[in-house]
Amino acid sequence: MPEERQPAGRVLYFDLLRILSIFAMVLLHINAQKFLTAAVGSLNWNISNFYQGLVRFCVPVFVMISGAFLLDGNREYSLKKLYFQKILRLVTAYVFWATLYAAYTVLSRNPIGAASLLKIVKLAIRGHYHLWFMYMIVGLYIASPLLRVICRSRRTAEYFLALWFVFELALNLLCVSGPLARLVSSFRSKVAFHTALGYAGFFVLGHYLANYQLPACAVRALHALGALSLAFTVGGTLYLSLRSGSATEALIHNLLPNTAFVSASIFLLVKRRFEHSAPSPRVARAVGTLSKLCFGAYLVHDFFIILFRKLGILSPNFFPALSVLLIAAAVMALSLLAAHLLNKIPVLNRYIL
């Protein structure tokens, strides 16, 4: 998600993926309330269940974009540049926004004082719910010099991705439910395999899909798996939720095969459609400008969700399939506008956006 300092010739499909993913993230956060509170099996809940499955690609695709840039062997990053430019910017942005969200949360319920200040510090360290991404992406940036070595060879990258699929994605799915869940969980704890786990797989996958051409049959298979995975996510979530009597999120986590297939399919779909496109200069500038604002929009967007919730317009009951999209579009537009205005402030635009 962080806007990488791209060369003069921007990569159109990366910009489009970034814009698409930030909208998906806003929609995810707005839709979550109805998914968790509506009656399971009702029309409203089924619509929100579909959206929850559809937009879950947002974080994986953000990570894939970052991996495509940071693991590119044609771009040299010294440790000094990595830590004092890229990572420092992420840390300062996190500290600023985590403190701002924490201050709002605490001071809206408590008077100003020493006790409130301590609560703000503790809450800022813990982070607002959507800022967990910052911790994760900083960890990947720190590991990127090692991951770059893995990505020098296509074979080695494929081996890493295979290990990640088996020991992270597949085992996560097997642990969700069913007779094998306990056995697989016990096996995993005993094996204690930590080499190719977590979001590092999406980081490497982004580099892989950005730099290597897949055979046509592999592309078709990936898109088919993406469509089947979306159906599995939505249908499986309905089944598990009806069985438990409440909304269940077991199949809509980021580190599952179904989420990975949907994310990879969307990444590849946008890449193949727009990789060689040549939009007019005006369109290219507009897309590039919006893409640059996405990181700031991510950081600020929950303030607008909070505002909409206070105004009572976050969960309207009219045309649920359309209204949630309209609200997400409004939050997205306001967030981009706020990011644009903040981006005009010297110094702040270098360290908090």
Domain boundaries of the chain, sorted by first residue: 19-55+278-352, 76-144
Q: How confident is the model at residue 335 (pLDDT cuts 50, 70, 90)?
A: very high
Q: What is the Cα–Cα distance from 223 to 221, expressed in whole angstroms?
A: 6
Task: Quickly count: other Cβ atoms within 10 Å of residue 305's Cβ.
Answer: 21
Q: What is the Cα–Cα distance from 175 to 286, expressed in whole angstroms?
A: 44
| Rounded average pLDDT over 148-156 | 96
**Angstrom distances, CA of residue 325 to CA of 29, 41, 50, 182, 288:** 12, 21, 13, 39, 23
Q: How confident is the model at residue 3 (pLDDT cuts 50, 70, 90)?
A: low
Q: Which amino acid is at 267?
A: F
* Residue 128 near residue 101, CB atoms below 8 Å: yes
**47-67: string of b/e by CB count within 10 Å (b at 16+)?**
bbbbbbbbbbbbbbbbbbbbb
Strand blocks (E) in 183-263? none
Q: What is the Cα–Cα distance from 7 to 26, expressed in whole angstroms?
A: 28
For tokens 């005993």, name the residue: 190
> What is the per-residue pLDDT across 46-69, written as a single tens digit (0 to 9) for each?
999 999 999 999 999 999 999 999
**Angstrom distances, CA of residue 265 to CA of 61, 219, 239, 277:** 10, 8, 25, 19
Please name the residues in contact with 320: beta carbons below 8 A apart, sequence gap of 6 or more.
Answer: 34, 43, 44, 47, 48
Q: What is the Cα–Cα distance from 328 to 330, expressed in whole angstroms?
A: 5
Q: What is the Cα–Cα distance from 277 to 271, expressed in whole angstroms?
A: 10
Q: What is the Cα–Cα distance from 344 to 63, expressed in whole angstroms?
A: 27
DSSP 214: P
* Residue 60 near residue 260, CB atoms below 8 Å: yes
Q: What are phi and psi of 319, to 5 degrees?
A: 40, 70
pLDDT for 7: 43
Task: Quickly count: other Cβ atoms within 10 Å of residue 216's Cβ.
Answer: 8
> What is the per-residue pLDDT across 286-320, written as a single tens digit (0 to 9) for each?
999 999 999 999 999 999 999 999 998 887 777 88
Nearest to 230, CA basis, from 24, 13, 12: 24
For the record, the structure tokens of 50 come out as 């579909």
Q: Which amino acid is at 299?
A: L
pLDDT for 178: 77
pLDDT for 84: 92
> What is the per-residue pLDDT across 99-131, written as a single tens digit (0 to 9) for each?
999 999 999 988 888 899 999 999 999 999 999
pLDDT for 180: 80
Please name the residues in contact with 56: beta carbons below 8 A apart, sequence gap of 6 or more.
Answer: 28, 233, 252, 254, 259, 262, 263
Residue 353 has pLDDT above 60, yes or no: yes
DSSP 255: S
Please name the residues in contact with 69: beta carbons below 8 A apart, sequence gap of 6 or more.
Answer: 4, 6, 14, 75
For the record, the structure tokens of 204 come out as 């490497």
Residue 150 has pLDDT above 60, yes or no: yes
For the record, the structure tokens of 115 come out as 């006790």
For tokens 């095969």, name the residue: 257
Q: How confident is the model at residue 190 (pLDDT cuts 50, 70, 90)?
A: confident
> What is the per-residue pLDDT across 191-240, written as a single tens digit (0 to 9) for each?
777 777 899 999 999 999 999 999 999 999 999 999 999 999 999 999 99
* Residue 71 near residue 105, CB atoms below 8 Å: no
Task: Quickly count: other Cβ atoms within 10 Å of residue 200's Cβ.
Answer: 23
pTM of the model: 0.93
Q: How many CA atoms lie within 13 A of 164 on its CB side?
A: 20
pLDDT for 1: 66
Q: What is the Cα–Cα distance from 143 to 259, expressed in whole angstroms?
A: 23
